[in-house]
Amino acid sequence: MDLISQLAWGATGWGDELAYGTLLTIQLALATLPFGLALGLLIALAQRSNEKSLVSAANIYTTIFRGLPELLTLFIVYYGGQIALQKLINLFTDTYVEVNAFVAGMIALGLVFSAFSSEVFASAFKGIPAGQGEAAQALGMTRWQALRLVTLPQLVRLSIGGLSNLWLILLKETSLVSIIALNDLLRNTNLAVGSTKQPLFFYSVALLIYLALSLISSRGLGAIEAYAKRGEKRVA
């Protein structure tokens, strides 16, 4: 059987498995993104709080999850979550439950993503003049309205570049979930390699798929960044 025919769909090839793995990789990254962004924004707001306990908690959080290896975070969430959930369930019943690998991967990657995105948001906040919030409140806006209508649009514009880089990193780090038996692109590639004994071919195919996802993401993120900065004046 020639190499290209091994990418056929159905029982004779691995094309459908690689396609499914690619789809799951994209789904995992897209599910992790809003979770990580929301949590990262909350952490950044906590760092700006006047409450010292919130500032300390936020700093400890970012120090931990920026310092831990992503793979170790994944193991802690997956296996530690399994143990904690089972002990909780055992308080009421003897039923055995198992942590969903997709959810565990999303949480683990989201925790790491939020720690780094909080730093991006924190830097973006510093680029927004403090007087704008005061002016918004002077116009009769509530703090929530000022945040939603004045601060957040500028926050998006100032942070989009850093967040774009984090998205590309997240897209590649989804490959870590293969270690907890989630059938993403890398795991299905490993299965194909084990079955066909063609590591160079299948890893090259996976490389091209990851590269294509990164290029498509870069083009899309570039368009989003251009749209977010459409109101900026160009200085000659």
The domain that holds 57 is classified in CATH as 1.10.3720.10
Quick one: pLDDT at residue 236?
A: 40
Within-domain flag for 235: no
DSSP 8-state code for residue 14:
S
3-state secondary structure at position 46: helix
pLDDT of residue 231: 63
Residues of the chain with pLDDT under 70: 1, 231-236
Query: Would 114 be classed as within a structural domain?
Result: yes
Domains in the chain, number:
1
Burial of 76 (0-12, 13-18, 19+ CB in 10 A): middle
Buried b (16+ CB within 10 A) or exposed e, 13-24: bbbebbeebbeb
Residue 130: the pLDDT is: 73
How far from 1 is each of 7, 190, 197, 204, CA to CA, in Å? 11, 19, 12, 18
Q: Which burial class, exposed, middle or buried, applies to 169 when counting CB atoms under 10 A from its CB (0-12, 13-18, 19+)? A: middle
Give residue 234's pLDDT: 52
pTM attached to this predicted model? 0.88
Q: Tell whether 187 is covered by a domain.
A: yes
Q: Is 234 within a domain?
A: no
- CB distance 115 to 62 below 8 Å: yes
Range of the domain at 208: 4-228
Q: For the chain, list the strands marked E by DSSP.
A: none
Question: Token match 């004046």: residue?
Answer: 233
| Cα–Cα nearest to 112, from 140, 74, 78 | 74
Structure tokens at 213: 């996802």
**90 in any annotated domain:** yes
Flag whether 236 is in a domain: no
| Within a domain: 233 | no
3 membership: H or E segment, kind and range: none
With respect to residue 124, please indicate whether it lies within any of the assigned structural domains: yes
Residue 95 has phi, psi (to 5 degrees) of -65, 135
